[in-house]
Structure 1
């Protein structure tokens, strides 16, 4: 059941997706290779980068590990 969230949460989700995309590209990884390395479905990676998906904490941990950045840097504001 979808819940209504404040507008600012959608903006923060887009910022997170942009940050992940930037770091992935900086690491010269395609979405497909990145998905394989994290164990996250490529379509899910695509939705996370687009800001249309709320990644679970465990996925954020995997993403940070593959991108070799502290989780704090990944989710910073």
Structure 2
């Protein structure tokens, strides 16, 4: 069970992951809608991941990485 509240570094790293997803999406020339379609997800899911308003599910990160044709490690590196 996660601590409540989360340590400060958790939302910072979640934000960094969102920034990497956005950068990879833009480098691929995709809109959030385009990435959502390619990944089989809802645009809101992509937006939430990029904005770091919610913790993305591992399954969603895997689908996003696959749609962007980048290794998952590139998105979640610390």
- Fold shared by both chains (TM-score > 0.5): yes
Segments of 5+ residues of structure 2 without an aligned counterpart are none
The count of residues paired between Structure 1 and Structure 2 equals 75
For residues 13-39 of structure 1, give each alpha carbon's deviation from its aligned partner in whole angstroms, at most 9, with x where no partner exists: 100000000000000000111111111
Aligned pairs for 1:1-77 (under 5 A) are 3-77=4-78
| TM-score, normalization by structure 1 | 0.91
Give the C-alpha shift of residue 4 in structure 1.
2.0
In structure 1, C-alpha distance between the alignment counterparts of 2:48 and 2:58, rounded to whole Å: 15
RMSD: 0.9
In structure 1, C-alpha distance between the alignment counterparts of 2:50 and 2:64, rounded to whole Å: 11
Segments of 5+ residues of structure 1 without an aligned counterpart are none
| TM-score, normalization by structure 2 | 0.90
